[in-house]
Amino acid sequence: MSQTPQTLLINGEWRASVDGITQEVNNPANGTVIQTISQASTADVVAALEAADAAFPVWAGMSARDRARFMHDAMDIFRANLDAAARLLTLEHGKPLNDSIKECRYSADVIDFYAEEGRRIDGTHFAGDLGPTHSFVLRQPVGVVAAITPWNFPVDLLAWKLGPGLAAGCTFVIKPPSEAPLAATAFVRAFAEAGLPPGVLNVVTGPGGSVGAEMVTNPLSRKIAFTGSTATGLWIAEQAARQLKHVTLELGGSAPFVVCDDADLDAAVPDALRRAYSHTGQICISVNRIFVQRGVYEPFVERFTAAASKLRVTADGLAEPDADMGPMINAKAIDTVRQHVADALERGATVTTGGDSPTGPLYANGYFYLPTVLTGVHRDMRVMQEETFGPLAPIAVFDTLEEGVKMANDSPYGLAAYVYTADLDRAFYAAKHIRSGGVGININDITDMRGPFGGMKMSGTGRELGQPGMDSYMEFKHVRLRHRAPR
């Protein structure tokens, strides 16, 4: 019997890769190996795409009600094993266990939500203007979807794709991230155990440059659902354009957090703090830049710095499930934070807390960086223009709201933004003029599965969640019918 791990799911069968290549999954908090998994070869990816293509008429031909049953059954199974999946997620990503549990629960809710949305797919019909005609619009699944996800929310961001896509009747080849593939694979296992027909959902883990690239360029995939960096997203967009594939691209961000002088600082400070440092700042909607109106700038900086310096960084997210943050994902991620801090200091910024890795034996073998606050920042610094994707919060001052909004918009990205104010007119002005796919007013999260989520500018194209998230997995077919008086 083969010793190679059977972690690829192709046509309903858990398999090793055809060429036997494996990879280790490491714990970023201490460097230990959690598990060895199979790494797909190009031949495995092609087999997975062929399986998804063959399964497409079967799955698309089922009633939405039957598809919903599979999806609900899968989530019943997943919930029964949720603690184990959440523990895996904490081990492979480093996030404290409570954050992993929250992610797994939300992911299951998204699947259940879309299972029912699939049953509500309806269409438009209208009588024609010219003569006795009638038109109706069929919504049909786009076909095989290649879904590629990053390591920061490996379960959630998969659910955002599988939920609407499976409900619409699409079949999938998914590539979980190499850094954190285990919890996502556990999520998929629940679908397999629920008896999903073979080929409807296939998993190929491996490097983006080979496995991901084949999924994108092979003509069998008709839609690319991608969440990841802007650089990879741009490459995917170019490849997809050559075959006019559907794309949804959820890319990088640099969210501004705008605090007006009438804001309730008792809410603004902890909310900014949570959104800047939760998941060690490795969220696409993390606060990357804070802008505070002059009247409250000093108290805000003082309170934010004091609170940031007290955050609990854990080297064991299982033992400390309610810690504020864990490690970063890898050495490259830390390096970006270090570069952004060094660049800002060189150009005149000040570190008010953090600015380095924590010391001590607990942190010695992991990728840790302290919650860090910078003041005296300006637009020419890398931290103000690039996505840091780490626990770094630069704070700048503004005078008028118009200026604050202008500063918030001074970024190539436009995914999320947050505005804190007690004034409805200010709130509405900011919500209208900030160029981002979502704006939170006195709330530090723009995610609700019933509303669309996605980016403007270099943060992406298309929307996930909500009705647009469902529509993006369907073709709209206009059927026009001429009718006559019966003979």
Does position 387 bind ligand NAD by CB under 6 A?
A: yes
Closer to ligand NAD by CB, 236 or 292: give it.
236
Closer to ligand NAD by CB, 232 or 411: give it.
232
Does position 204 bind ligand NAD by CB under 6 A?
A: no
Does position 245 bind ligand NAD by CB under 6 A?
A: no
Tell me the C-alpha distance between 236 and 306, whole Å: 42
Q: Which of residues 225-244 bind ligand NAD (CB under 6 A)?
A: 227-229, 232, 235-236
The interface region with ligand NAD, picked from 5-13, 102-110, 118-126, 246-254 by CB under 6 A, is 246-254
DSSP string covering 173-238: EEE--SSS-HHHHHHHHHHHHTTPPTTSEEE--S-IIIIIHHHHHSTT--EEEEES-HHHHHHHHH
**x-marked contacts with ligand NAD along 139-168 as a string, rule CB under 6 A:** ---------xxxxxx---x-----------
Q: Annotated catalytic, 250?
A: yes
Smallest gap from Cβ 375 to ligand NAD, in A, equals 24
Give the CA count within 13 Å in the CB-facing half-sphere of 467.
5
Decide: residue 158, CB within 10 A, 0-12 exposed, 13-18 middle, 19+ buried.
Answer: buried
**x-marked contacts with ligand NAD along 392-431 as a string, rule CB under 6 A:** -----------------------x----------------
Catalytic residue, candidates 104, 214, 284, 464 = 284
Quick one: residue 457, left, alpha or beta (phi over 0 = left, psi -120 to 50 = alpha)? left
Residue of 251, 258, 401, 405 interacting with ligand NAD (CB under 6 A): 251
Q: How many residues comprise the chain?
A: 487
Catalytic residue, candidates 214, 250, 386, 387 = 250
Does position 212 bind ligand NAD by CB under 6 A?
A: yes
Tell me the C-alpha distance between 382 and 470, whole Å: 36
Residue of 209, 219, 299, 348 interacting with ligand NAD (CB under 6 A): 209
Q: Are the CB atoms for 271 and 418 separated by under 8 Å?
A: yes
Q: Are the CB atoms for 132 and 484 separated by under 8 Å?
A: yes
Q: Are the CB atoms for 215 and 243 separated by under 8 Å?
A: no
Does position 216 bind ligand NAD by CB under 6 A?
A: yes
Does position 472 bind ligand NAD by CB under 6 A?
A: no
At 64, list the tokens: 């939405």
Q: Annotated catalytic, 170?
A: no
φ, ψ (nearest 5 deg) of residue 156 = -55, -50
Active-site residue numbers? Answer: 250, 284
Residue ranges that bind ligand NAD, judged by CB under 6 A: 148-153, 157, 175, 177-178, 208-209, 212-213, 216, 227-229, 232, 235-236, 250-253, 284, 387, 389, 415, 455, 459-460
